[in-house]
Chains A and B, each alone.
Chain A
Amino acid sequence: MHPAILSSTACLAFAAGIFAQTTVVTPAQFARLPGPSANTHPIGPTITTSPSMRYQSIHDDMAGKPGSIKGMALRLNEGATSVATSITI
Chain B
Amino acid sequence: MRISTAATPAVTATTTFDTNHGADKATVVPASSVFNFGVYPPVTPGPTPFVFKVPFTTPFAFAGAGGIAWEMLIASRTNTTAFSLDAASGVFNLVGVSFGTGCLASGKTSAASVSSSYSTTTGNLTLNAANFANSAPGALVLGINNQVWNGLPLPFDIPGTTGGSSGTCRVYADYLFDIPLMASATGAMSIATPVAINPSTLGVFFYHWAFGLDAAANSLGVISSNARYTGLGDGTTIGGCRVYAFNNVAATTGSRDSTTLITEFTY
Interface residues in chain A, defined as those with a beta carbon under 8 Å from any beta carbon in chain B: 21-27, 29-30, 32-89
Contact status B81-A46, CB under 8 Å: yes
A44 and B37 alpha carbons, distance in the complex (Å): 11
Contact status A43-B47, CB under 8 Å: no
Contact status A52-B76, CB under 8 Å: yes
Which of the candidate stretches B159-167, B171-179, B258-266 sits at the interface with the other chain? B258-266
Interface residues in chain B, defined as those with a beta carbon under 8 Å from any beta carbon in chain A: 1, 3, 6, 8-10, 13, 17, 20, 28-29, 31-56, 59-89, 92, 94-97, 99, 202-203, 205, 229, 231, 233-234, 236, 238-251, 254, 259-267
Q: Which residues of B contact A35 (CB under 8 A)?
A: 47, 86-88, 95, 262
CB distance from B45 to the nearest CB of A (A): 6
**Knowing that A36-B92, A54-B250, A71-B265 are A-B contacts, what are 9 other residue pairs whose CB atoms are under 8 Å apart, sorted by A's residue number?**
A35-B86, A50-B247, A55-B244, A59-B260, A60-B10, A76-B52, A77-B85, A77-B87, A88-B34
Q: Which residues of A contact B74 (CB under 8 A)?
A: 42-43, 50, 52-55, 87-89
Q: Which residues of B contact A25 (CB under 8 A)?
A: 262-264
Counting chain A CB atoms within 10 Å of each CB, the highest count among B31, B229, B238 belongs to: B238
Q: Which residues of B contact A65 (CB under 8 A)?
A: 62, 64
A72 and B70 alpha carbons, distance in the complex (Å): 9
Contact status A43-B65, CB under 8 Å: no
Select which of B71, B94, B246 is within 8 A of A56 by beta carbon.
B71
Contact status B263-A26, CB under 8 Å: yes
Contact status B46-A79, CB under 8 Å: yes
Contact status B239-A89, CB under 8 Å: no
What residue of chain B has the Cβ atom nearest to residue A57's Cβ? Answer: B242
Contact status B247-A78, CB under 8 Å: no
What residue of chain A has the Cβ atom nearest to residue B232's Cβ? Answer: A33
